[in-house]
Chains A and B, each alone.
Chain A
């Protein structure tokens, strides 16, 4: 799979997640339901091919390995991402995080308040959890992309 295809497929998957999974997560009445949804999210995303899982894409600070690929479409000023993780819950949470920012322009991305959004989804505890799941590192990484060229 080439990069273009991967970005396009991920984009479609993230849009679907935003429309379908976010409301479900918000309404989930117990953690089990929330986890079952999170677990499914990872499966909806195309995996990052092994040969693309390079060191530079690894997000440091995760107990599990997580990769984040960023692409800035400069002509349209839109940011796109591809993600993968060998842990499913982390991958699900990353998917949530990325479906919120996918396709944003640089100034939107810079202004984006992830912790507020996670709060609204009742997912805040996962952000503040120790460096174990690496989501905080991931969030910082995503915001830094707004100024990357």
Chain B
């Protein structure tokens, strides 16, 4: 059995906010003490710049930093440690990809394939560069129950896109995409595969060897880690073809005003002083998380999800957009005829933290013909009590709004 109360006790945040029900986990997660302690320990005891100092302190910091890279590479089962590139987050990773593949791999007239439910981070970077380079974007539509339409996906793959990029888990609906199958189909069609794992990495340990995608990106802060750090995983052959988005120190081999040659992976894609403490914090999060059996965490989260679905369905006027099956623990909902921000506002009054709006997925809401939704996102540290308090607050919201 997963012991949620002992798990939860490791988060100082909840000591400081005993009255709050925190259900905005898809935006960012709370940090266990193991992470905050690792970050402050680094600053208090080990702080030095990495990869440059001649002194021993820098060498120790570098060793810690590179150890963190190994931890993460091992966690996601990358074949090589240098396939883990540190970024500032999922957004930065996707920007590096869109910039870095344009011109070298993606040529005018090429097509790429995205889906209707992507986060803006997996739309806008492509758009920015595709427009300039004359690359065409196709979009996979959804079925009536708001799942990706896999038939349409296969038809669009027949157009031979050079690249396919989709999210592992929808940040609005919580639906888990059939990534394994989608990657396989895309590869069979000869496309480079990019998976936006910002939400996916929280749900399960991503296995790069099994998934076999070419790129996978995620942010540390959604995985119990610090903000401002993330990972761009890529297969060596593809990482080598990326034009660096940022130039500067560390990433070069030699610089003159005639020519600059680049350092090897991973450094050629990590210009400037990295977020050292962030990287160490993220590795601490992963080390900490690995003491738990994720199967039990998944079971716990689906218990919460089912309880929430059951309760929310009883409340008159609540319309649920998410499906309970293949759901990672996120529920998008609305109160009939009411604006989602009004609902979230009233939940906020009752100290229930959720998010309202379009969740950086405007194309999805255009498609659904809705002006937004309230998003309730559960994490492993949430309890049935949290579920009940949220349901009560939701009832209260409906009552006030429809009075």
Which residue numbers of A lie inside 8 Å of B, CB to CB?
Answer: 31-32, 35-36, 39, 63-65, 86-90, 132-133
A89 to B372, CA, bound (A): 16
Check B34 for interface membership: any CB of A closer than 8 A: no
Whether B400 and A86, one on each chain, are in contact in the complex, defined by CB atoms closer than 8 angstroms, is no
Check B154 for interface membership: any CB of A closer than 8 A: no
A86 to B337, CA, bound (A): 10
Q: Shortest distance in angstroms between A96's beta carbon and chain B's nearest beta carbon?
A: 15
Nearest A residue (CB) for B338: A88
Nearest A residue (CB) for B396: A32
**Looking at the complex, which one of B346, B356, B401 makes contact with A63 (CB distance below 8 Å)?**
B356
Whether B339 and A64, one on each chain, are in contact in the complex, defined by CB atoms closer than 8 angstroms, is yes
**Looking at the complex, which one of B338, B341, B346 makes contact with A133 (CB distance below 8 Å)?**
B341
Can you give 24 A-B contacts (C-beta < 8 A)?
A: A31-B349, A32-B396, A35-B346, A35-B349, A36-B400, A36-B403, A39-B403, A63-B341, A63-B372, A64-B339, A64-B371, A65-B371, A86-B339, A86-B371, A87-B339, A87-B341, A87-B345, A88-B338, A88-B401, A89-B346, A90-B342, A132-B341, A133-B341, A133-B345
A133 to B340, CA, bound (A): 12
By Cβ-Cβ distance, the 4 closest A-B pairs, closest first, are A87-B339, A64-B341, A87-B341, A63-B357
Contact with A along B320-338 (1 / 0, CB 8 A): 0000000000000000001
Nearest B residue (CB) for A93: B345
Chain A binding surface, main DSSP class? helix
- Report chain A residues within 8 Å CB of B338: 88
For chain B, residues 338 to 385, give those with C-beta under 8 angstroms from any C-beta of chain A: 338-339, 341-342, 345-346, 349, 356-357, 371-372
- Report chain B residues within 8 Å CB of A133: 341, 345
Nearest B residue (CB) for A30: B349
- Report chain A residues within 8 Å CB of B396: 32
Q: Shortest distance in angstroms between B316's beta carbon and chain A's nearest beta carbon?
A: 18
**Looking at the complex, which one of B341, B356, B400 makes contact with A39 (CB distance below 8 Å)?**
B400
Whether B400 and A90, one on each chain, are in contact in the complex, defined by CB atoms closer than 8 angstroms, is no
A63 to B343, CA, bound (A): 12
Greatest chain A CB density within 10 A among B349, B357, B396 is at B349
Nearest A residue (CB) for B358: A63
A138 to B158, CA, bound (A): 50
- Report chain A residues within 8 Å CB of B372: 63
**Looking at the complex, which one of A35, A63, A64, A132 makes contact with B400 (CB distance below 8 Å)?**
A35
A132 to B255, CA, bound (A): 46
